[in-house]
Amino acid sequence: MDQSTTKAMDVVPPAMIMFVPIANGSGGAGALRHSRGKVGHSACLAATSGRRHRPSSGSHSARRLDVRMAAALEQGTHRSLTGEVDYVIVGGGAAGCVLANRLSADKNVSVLLLEAGGKGDSFKISVPLGFPYLCGSDIDWKYLSEPEEELHERRVYFPRGKMLGGSHSMSVMLYHRGEAADYEQWEAMGAEGWGPDGVLPFFKKSEHQHAKDMDSAFHSKSGPLSVSDLRRVNPLTKVFLEACEGAGMPRNEDFNNWNSRQDGMGTFQVTQREGMRESPATAYLRPVVGRRNLRVETHASVEKVLIDEGSKTAVGVSYVNKDGRKVKIQARKEVILAAGSLATPQLLMLSGIGDRHMLDEFGIPVIQHLPGVGQNLQDQPAVMLSYQSPNPYVDKNKTQTYYTERTGKDIRSILSYLFLGNGPLTSPMCEAGGFVRSDPSQRSCDLQLRFIPFVSEPDPYHSLGDFATGGEYLTNKSNRPAGFTLQSVVTRPKSRGYVALRSADFRDRPMVVPRWLEDKADLKTMVEGIKLCRKIASQSQFAQFRGDELYPGPQLSSDADLESYIRESCHTANAVVGSCRMGALDDDSAVVDPSLRVKHIKNLRVIDSSVMPTLPGGQAGAPTMMIAEKGAELVFILALSESAHLPLDAVGKMLVICS
């Protein structure tokens, strides 16, 4: 038998199985036995589980609690359930952490979360302004795209988090959902049940909104994920907002209120708790890591899903654990892929699910020809406009206004962060910006603008990669002037790329072909973005803060010049989605159905950012967690309907009433 498949493993019928420690209760290795439990109203409990595990919100208590949670996580990651579990979740990122919390809320089921990276609990991760220092470090997968002519043969660097919390643990923390029309489009593309009314309850279920006066129709204060206003707004950010007004742009006080237009400028909300990064790991996983039916295994790299060839049923996964040992684990109920938009399609292909021709090319036995796997890749390309300040090297000492590599070393910033949870170190860098239409005929905003009180190179990620390999970017030696940057992001891109296998070895990164400029409309949007940013920067409000334009530089002014600059320097805004698209049951190009089940394969779902049919205009983190919230409910509905012998619809309605 070929190694990529497993003949009928002993699949236990759908009965709930509880794991109970039999040794000293300390969760010692392998000290567990199974006991059968009944299906109760546990799925209803799942709907409120986040609330029961809320960390306290006392001033310094969150920091202390973080330490306690880290200790619990330490124990949790060493607890060992061997052999078989009910649910195996592959990838402990944004979606994986949500799923681990919600599925293990039913204490009658056992859940194993496998994460290739580590715990991701170091201090540098929790300090918001430290975000650039995470890029290129050992908690980053550091993907590189294939060279493309359209991008002047550049390889684009894609940071992706390799730790619990995934990419969101190294994110910029902006909290955006897109607008209602984005989800109407999902539904129109065959994602039945994923329209605005179908997704809003799950955004709210996730959210713990700290700002006052937010419309409760769109916000909630009872979810696990802390969402807040900025603790400190940089003086230059305020200048930027005044300049936007000067340029005739409207204000928007809440980009996530679907009763009003997304258009307008304002400060961004962030996923932070008391000035510290809030990731899916801190919000969802750490509070529940002590649950006895949940095992979290880090440094566990999944190589493929084990699928029974005859019945086309996922029965488990094989992975390499932290000791380098190959382990097979059986999933009695489901395997759920949540490895993100680059790794999930790779894992499907390595498991024999994907385009037949590609699998043949690498000698992988085809279990299911599914040509959509890896296609429909979307991301938001971005381009920078940077100015130095009038006294660029003297102004480097104004560390509270111009962020430079000195800001993080400034004693005022450090003390303010440590004792008050405030100051520049709480900044996500992009503190303000907004959504605009590059021309009035656009149906939705095609541009997101972001203001950064820091001089960025044209391709900041290239420079960050250089820094990670010993370069001087971000060090005291760097010759960076003080200044500021405006970033134009294609927020609803029309171009589509793809992910393909590079080899049949799971340790090789897949090929990533972003094709950002495939649709010339996206190029045009970026050109218009630079022009609009120049207009904002030329307003009188900036007069005393603006020196020379550094990038692209005033000599580049025609559309052709700007296009060339964009090809040379556009970079990712980190919203990589769509490579395992959800669609209607009869849509052959879709990878998962609206219940997120992989087409033609039993007991296998994809629940992560890769299922998005299109990018909701904004960042991808909040929509990913929404997908995982709704995905967990879909998993419960199936489990309940099977054990109670009820139709799926009836169970779905019951759950709505319970929650």
The one-letter code for the residue type at 569 is: S
Query: For ligand FAD, which stretch binds (CB under 6 A), given 68-76, 482-490, 548-556, 621-629?
Result: 621-629
DSSP string over 549-576: EEES-TT--SHHHHHHHHHHH-EE-S--
Site size with ligand FAD, rule: CB under 6 A: 41
**Half-sphere exposure (Cβ direction) of 565: Cα atoms closer than 13 Å:** 25
Q: Which is nearer to ligand FAD, 39 or 490 (CB)?
A: 490
Question: Among candidates 412, 402, 425, 406, which has minimal Cα distance to 485?
Answer: 402
- The reply on whether position 90 binds ligand FAD by CB under 6 A is yes
- The reply on whether position 624 binds ligand FAD by CB under 6 A is yes
DSSP assigned state of 468: H
Q: How far is the CB of 435 from ligand FAD (least distance, A)?
A: 14
- The reply on whether position 452 binds ligand FAD by CB under 6 A is no
Q: Which is nearer to ligand FAD, 93 or 458 (CB)?
A: 93
- The reply on whether position 339 binds ligand FAD by CB under 6 A is yes
Q: How far is the CB of 389 from ligand FAD (least distance, A)?
A: 26
Q: Which is nearer to ligand FAD, 170 or 482 (CB)?
A: 170
Name beta bridge partners: 276: 273
Query: For ligand FAD, which stretch binds (CB under 6 A), given 158-166, 516-524, 580-588, 646-654?
Result: 158-166
Q: How far is the CB of 433 from ligand FAD (least distance, A)?
A: 11
- The reply on whether position 167 binds ligand FAD by CB under 6 A is yes
Question: ω before 481 within 30° of 0 (cis)?
Answer: no
Give the pairing of strands 264-267 and 294-297: unpaired
Helix (H, G, I), strand (E, B) or coil at 606: strand
Choosing from 256, 404, 495, 619, the residue that interacts with ligand FAD (CB under 6 A) is 619
Query: For ligand FAD, which stretch binds (CB under 6 A), given 163-171, 244-252, 471-479, 545-553?
Result: 163-171
Q: Give Cα 104 distance to the centre of its chain.
A: 21
CA 462 – CA 50 distance, rounded (Å):
39
Q: How many CB atoms neighbour CB 35 within 10 A?
A: 11
Give the pairing of strands 111-114 and 84-90: parallel
Q: How far is the CB of 469 from ligand FAD (least distance, A)?
A: 17
**Half-sphere exposure (Cβ direction) of 262: Cα atoms closer than 13 Å:** 25
Is 302 annotated for ligand binding? Answer: yes
Q: Which is nearer to ligand FAD, 236 or 338 (CB)?
A: 338
∠ CA(187), CA(188), CA(190), 5° rounding? 65
Q: How far is the CB of 31 from ligand FAD (least distance, A)?
A: 25
Q: How far is the CB of 108 from ligand FAD (least distance, A)?
A: 26
Q: How many CB atoms neighbour CB 520 within 10 A?
A: 12
Q: Which is nearer to ligand FAD, 617 or 652 (CB)?
A: 617
Query: For ligand FAD, which stretch binds (CB under 6 A), given 27-35, 114-122, 257-265, 474-482?
Result: 114-122
The one-letter code for the residue type at 109 is: V
Q: Which is nearer to ligand FAD, 392 or 424 (CB)?
A: 424
Length of the chain: 659
Query: For ligand FAD, which stretch binds (CB under 6 A), given 112-120, 238-246, 381-389, 435-443?
Result: 112-120
Q: How far is the CB of 191 from ligand FAD (least distance, A)?
A: 16
Binding to ligand FAD in span 279-318, by CB under 6 A = 301-302
Query: For ligand FAD, which stretch binds (CB under 6 A), given 7-15, 113-121, 257-265, 465-473?
Result: 113-121
- The reply on whether position 173 binds ligand FAD by CB under 6 A is yes
CA 312 – CA 329 distance, rounded (Å):
17
- The reply on whether position 550 binds ligand FAD by CB under 6 A is no
Q: Which is nearer to ligand FAD, 85 or 562 (CB)?
A: 85
Question: Among candidates 82, 65, 83, which has minimal Cα distance to 73?
Answer: 65
- The reply on whether position 160 binds ligand FAD by CB under 6 A is yes
Q: Is the separation of the CB atoms in 126 and 201 below 8 Å?
A: no
Contact map string, positions 375 to 414, toward ligand FAD, x by CB under 6 A: ----------------------------------------
Choosing from 106, 179, 182, 608, the residue that interacts with ligand FAD (CB under 6 A) is 608
Report the residue number whose CB is nearest to ligand FAD. Answer: 93
- The reply on whether position 621 binds ligand FAD by CB under 6 A is yes
- The reply on whether position 162 binds ligand FAD by CB under 6 A is yes
The one-letter code for the residue type at 184 is: E
Choosing from 95, 367, 601, 635, the residue that interacts with ligand FAD (CB under 6 A) is 95
Q: Is the separation of the CB atoms in 518 and 495 below 8 Å?
A: yes
- The reply on whether position 168 binds ligand FAD by CB under 6 A is yes
DSSP string over 299-354: S-EEEEEEEETTTTEEEEEEEE-TTS-EEEEEEEEEEEE-SHHHHHHHHHHHTTEE
Q: Any residues with CB less than 8 A from the CB of 532 and at least 6 apart, and which?
A: 247, 436, 438, 447, 449, 488
The residue to which tokens 């070895």 are assigned: 505
Name beta bridge partners: 438: none
Q: How many CB atoms neighbour CB 658 within 10 A?
A: 13
Which chain residues interact with ligand FAD by CB under 6 A? 90-96, 114-117, 159-163, 166-168, 170-174, 301-302, 338-341, 343, 347, 574-575, 608-609, 619-622, 624
Annotated binding site for FAD: 302
